[in-house]
Each structure stands twice: as C-alpha cells, then as structure tokens.
C-alpha cells in the first residue's frame, strides 16, 4: 500500500521514532531474537548477523511478515490471529497509531459525548477485512466495543474476508463479546447495485471475477442500523483504483488482494462516499474518521467535509515505515463552548517557542493549526498568511460575559449574567508566528482589548498546549 510520501527507511526492526507516545513500540522496537527464542515457528524467519548485532526479518517475505504479526499480537496483546495466504497483512505498530489517535480525539473533549453513548466506547470499523485488526487492537488495548463491517466489491467470490474476520474474533473468546462482524453486502440497498460483465479492477490479479459490482457497496447508510450510535468510525480504505496502480512496494510484502486494495475511483471515491453517508448520521457518530493515502486527497476531502457542514475538521500525519499516511476526522456535533478561565491577569504579550523538524513544523502549518484551534472554540479568525498572523475576535456574547465576570475571576463564559454592560467590539488579540531559526518558531500573542487580559492568557496557554502536543510530539 505504498503510494504515500517516501521517508527514510524505517521498518519494524529499527527504532520507530514516529510512533504515538502511547504506542507500546514507541520506546523500543520488537526484539526479534527474544521473540524467536520464545516462538519456534517464528525462528526460521529471523536472521542474526554473523558478527552479532540486531536480529532482522525479511519484510519482502509474506510468510515472515504474517508470522511477525501473529507473534506480536499473541505476545504483546494476547490475541490469537491468522489470515490466509495473500490477504492484507497489517503491521501491528502502525495500526496501533491510528487507534491511539482516535483515543486522543475522544479524550480531547472537544466534541461532547453523544447523549445515547454508553460507558464503553463504541466504534465502527469500515472495511475490517479478514485481518480484523482494528477491532482486535481496540478491544484488547482499550476495551472498546466494535462493529467491523466487511464489504465486497466482487460479490461472487468466496467470502474469505467475512469468514476470516469472524474466525479471528471467535479465536479470542475474551474479546468476542466486544466485536460484531457485519456484512455490508447484506445491507438493504445492496440489491440496487448494478452487475456488469466488465472487470474494472482486475489488473494484475489472478482472482476469478466473472461479475463485479460497479459501485462501491454500502458503507454506512444501510449498514448502520436505526437507533445505533457510535463514538467514532474509522477506515483504512482501499487506496487504489487498480492493483496496477497499487504498485506493490518491493521492499515489503504485506499481501493484499484486489478486493482489499482497490475500488472504483480509489480512496477519493471511497472516502467521499463516507463523507456523503456521514451527513445521514450527524447525531449518531461523535467522530467520523478515515485514513488517507495521498496528501492531495487529504486537502480535497477536508474541503468536502467542510462543504457538507461539519462543525470540526481535524487532520494528522502518520509516518509509517517508508510512507506517510494522513488521518482525517470530522464531526457535526457542536464543539463544547470553551470554558475560559482567567488565570494570569494583566499581561499584554505572551509567547512560546516550538522547536522541531523544519518540515513538520512549518510556520504556515502552525498558523493553520492555530486558526483551527480558535475556530473550534467558536471564535472568529482573520488569518493573514503574508504576515503570518491571525486576528482573533471573541464574539460579543462571550466578550460581555468575560467582562461581566471582571475577566480575571474564574468563571465560564456560558454563564452570562443580567448585569448591565457596555458592548465591546473589534479584534480581541493577535497571534503571530515567526521563524526564529530553521526548525524553531516563535508564537507570540498580543492583547488588543485590555478588558480581556485574563481570557487572553487562558486561551493562549491552551493554544500553547495544543500546538506543542501536535508539533513537538511529532518532531521527537
């Protein structure tokens, strides 16, 4: 699945510098020699250099990659797992990053829980595949509940994905109660699919495909049941239009059939379908998310999400081995009104530094993230990408509440009092981003409306936490 931006060689045998901090492989990569000693079936796939040094695995060998995944899931997660030859083989450290990003989204509290949410987090994995990796990891790492959907583009081939996803769940009785595998092709609207004789995505595949479904099978509409609600959906979509386009990476062998890797229109069409479906479930999902394989598609899809009226859009970058992937998240639920607490009164200027890799921490990217932060807090922003500054205006309603509370008293802006007040308008403060030296940015906040000094301090400190979390963590 290698079409993303090329990165320095970094496979599971090297220190994974870009792992999510809570990824269990963030501090140290798997020790292949130790695993080989514990699991004899893994030993034949592990080579130790003659003169000593780190043991390695041949990632161009599908059997080796699959055995490594099996052993890591068993040893580190207590999961019994297998897939038949040729099916898409997930790498455990990479797939864990997406799970932890969703965990961050849920715990950010930016979007309040949906009213019908239960105690246990409930997720919907679109296209769980034979490997069923996300439900298995999410259930074992975090105790999440999952529906994993299986949808097939070629309706007449043996249903390997459905059969093996179910087998992988049943082999883990301790998790089985948390995971439901659902057949998207049995959705009521599936019967509308048009069968044709051509074979649009058959290139480079030896599978017998006589009839194919021209359109993508149902994704959410028709598959999600009435009255169901979920904290999130996730998806590792079929990235490619054809297996030829997939151009399998010769340095790795993760398998993957045409059923799994390709669909008409590629990831752009698939994720657009999710976006369109999401409009029908505005209040049934707290977050919609998808992995995106190409940065150009990320921008385009983020615009589509805005066009359909999402209230919040978030993106992230996953660096996975040699390739980069992106995460796109959106929600239609109104973000929480920010609780503005006045903690450090009086200061007119605040600043902090962001230090990191130059590419990751570009000034424009930081400016856009700061803009997203303020917009998500319902503040209006005027961004000037020439001077790298944002003028932020606190709406009258919030301004007045802050002023009524003296701004320097702790209190939430929602609590608008009945005391008389004078309206305050105009820009409240300005945020500027300066590149000090390559890789180091200075973020400076200047208060323009002195009545709001406490509010300004509080917001600026939250901005600092958000940007440091987003940019400095990635750069480590």
Where is the binding site for S-adenosyl-L-methionine, in residues?
Answer: 95, 127, 156, 236
Tell me if 299 sits within 8 A of 333, measured CB to CB: no
Binding pattern for the stretch 154-173 against ligand SAM, x by CB under 6 A and - elsewhere: -------x------------
* Torsion sign over Cα 247, 69, 472, 107: positive
Q: CA 365 to CA 11: how far, in whole Å?
A: 27
Q: CA 324 to CA 318: how far, in whole Å?
A: 6
Q: CA 215 to CA 265: how far, in whole Å?
A: 10
**Joined tokens for residue 442:** 């200075």
Among 2, 151, 266, 293, binds ligand SAM (CB under 6 A): 151
Nearer residue to ligand SAM within complex by CB, 189 or 339: 189
**Joined tokens for residue 138:** 């999410």
Q: Smallest distance from the beta carbon of 181 to ligand SAM, in angstroms?
A: 11
Q: CA 48 to CA 25: how far, in whole Å?
A: 21
Examine residue 96 and tell whether it contacts ligand SAM (CB under 6 A).
Answer: no
Nearer residue to ligand SAM within complex by CB, 128 or 145: 128
CA 475 to chain centre: 18
What residues from 263 to 302 belong to the interface with ligand SAM (CB under 6 A)? Answer: 263
Q: CA 464 to CA 29: how far, in whole Å?
A: 31
Q: Smallest distance from the beta carbon of 72 to ligand SAM, in angstroms?
A: 14
Nearer residue to ligand SAM within complex by CB, 134 or 460: 134
Nearer residue to ligand SAM within complex by CB, 152 or 401: 152
Q: For 399, how many CA atoms within 13 A lie in the half-sphere containing its CB?
A: 20
Examine residue 217 and tell whether it contacts ligand SAM (CB under 6 A).
Answer: yes
Nearer residue to ligand SAM within complex by CB, 126 or 302: 126
Helix axes 266-278, 295-307, angle to 10 degrees: 20
The pairing of strands 323-331 and 389-393 is unpaired
Among 26, 137, 219, 328, binds ligand SAM (CB under 6 A): 219
What residues from 226 to 265 belong to the interface with ligand SAM (CB under 6 A)? Answer: 236, 238, 259-261, 263
Query: Which residues, 6+ apart, have CB-to-CB distance to 75 below 8 Å?
Result: 35, 38, 39
Q: Smallest distance from the beta carbon of 1 to ligand SAM, in angstroms?
A: 7
What residues from 170 to 189 belong to the interface with ligand SAM (CB under 6 A)? Answer: 184
**Joined tokens for residue 109:** 């509290």
Q: Which stretch binds ligand SAM (CB under 6 A): 11-19, 143-151, 318-326, 361-369?
A: 143-151
Q: Which stretch binds ligand SAM (CB under 6 A): 215-223, 308-316, 321-329, 416-424?
A: 215-223
Examine residue 128 and tell whether it contacts ligand SAM (CB under 6 A).
Answer: yes
Q: Smallest distance from the beta carbon of 134 to ligand SAM, in angstroms?
A: 6
Q: Smallest distance from the beta carbon of 184 to ligand SAM, in angstroms?
A: 4
Q: Smallest distance from the beta carbon of 265 to ligand SAM, in angstroms?
A: 11
Q: Which stretch binds ligand SAM (CB under 6 A): 7-15, 62-70, 130-138, 459-467?
A: 130-138
Q: CA 432 to CA 444: how far, in whole Å?
A: 5
* Torsion sign over Cα 259, 265, 266, 267: negative
Structural Rg of the chain based on CA atoms: 25
Give bridge partners of residue 150 from the DSSP assignment.
183
Give the three-class secondary structure for 274.
helix
Q: Smallest distance from the beta carbon of 124 to ligand SAM, in angstroms?
A: 10
DSSP for 248-269 reads --TT------HHHHB-TTHHHH
Q: Smallest distance from the beta carbon of 215 to ligand SAM, in angstroms?
A: 9
Binding site for ligand SAM (CB under 6 A): 88, 90, 126-129, 131, 133-134, 149-153, 161, 184, 216-219, 236, 238, 259-261, 263
């Amino acid at each position: 699945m290698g079409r993303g931006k090329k990165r320095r060689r970094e496979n599971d045998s090297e220190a994974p510098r870009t792992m999510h901090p809570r990824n269990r492989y963030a501090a140290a990569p798997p020790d292949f020699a130790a695993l080989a000693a514990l699991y004899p079936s893994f030993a034949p796939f592990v080579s130790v250099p003659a003169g000593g040094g780190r043991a390695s695995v041949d990632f161009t060998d599908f059997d080796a990659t699959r055995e490594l995944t099996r052993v890591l899931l068993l040893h580190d997660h207590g999961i019994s797992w297998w897939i038949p030859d040729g099916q898409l083989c997930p790498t455990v450290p990479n797939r864990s990053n997406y799970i932890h990003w969703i965990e961050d989204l849920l715990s950010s509290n930016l979007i309040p829980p949906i009213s019908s949410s239960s105690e246990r987090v409930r997720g919907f994995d679109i296209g769980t595949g034979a490997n069923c990796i996300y439900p298995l990891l999410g259930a074992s790492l975090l105790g999440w509940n999952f529906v994993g959907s299986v949808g097939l583009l070629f309706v007449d081939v043996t249903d390997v994905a459905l059969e093996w996803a179910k087998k992988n769940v049943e082999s883990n009785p301790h998790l089985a109660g948390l995971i439901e595998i659902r057949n998207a092709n049995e959705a009521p609207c599936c019967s509308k699919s048009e069968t044709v004789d051509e074979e649009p995505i058959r290139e480079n595949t030896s599978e017998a495909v006589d009839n194919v479904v021209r359109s993508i099978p149902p994704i959410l509409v028709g598959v999600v049941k009435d009255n169901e609600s979920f904290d999130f959906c996730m998806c590792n979509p079929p990235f490619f239009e054809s297996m030829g386009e997939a151009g399998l990476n010769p340095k790795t062998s993760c398998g993957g059939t045409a059923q799994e890797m390709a669909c008409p229109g590629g990831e752009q069409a698939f994720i657009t379908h999710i976006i369109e479906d999401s409009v029908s479930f505005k209040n049934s999902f707290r977050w919609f998310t998808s992995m995106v394989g190409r940065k150009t598609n990320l921008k385009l899809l983020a615009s589509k999400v805005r066009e359909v009226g999402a209230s919040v859009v978030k993106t992230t970058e996953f660096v996975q081995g040699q390739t980069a992937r992106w995460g796109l998240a959106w929600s239609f639920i109104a973000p929480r009104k920010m609780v503005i607490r006045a903690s450090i009164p009086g200061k007119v200027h605040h600043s902090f530094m962001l230090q990191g890799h130059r590419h990751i921490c570009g000034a424009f990217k930081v400016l856009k993230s700061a803009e997203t932060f303020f917009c998500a807090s319902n503040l209006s922003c005027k961004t000037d990408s020439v001077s790298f500054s944002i003028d932020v205006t606190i709406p009258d309603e919030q301004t007045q509440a802050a002023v009524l509370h003296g701004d320097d008293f702790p209190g939430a802006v929602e609590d608008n009092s009945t005391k008389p007040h004078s309206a305050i308008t105009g820009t409240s403060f300005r945020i500027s981003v300066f590149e000090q030296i390559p890789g180091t940015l200075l973020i400076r906040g200047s208060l323009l409306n002195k009545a709001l000094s406490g509010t300004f301090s509080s917001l600026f400190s939250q901005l600092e936490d958000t940007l440091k979390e987003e940019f400095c963590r990635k750069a480590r």
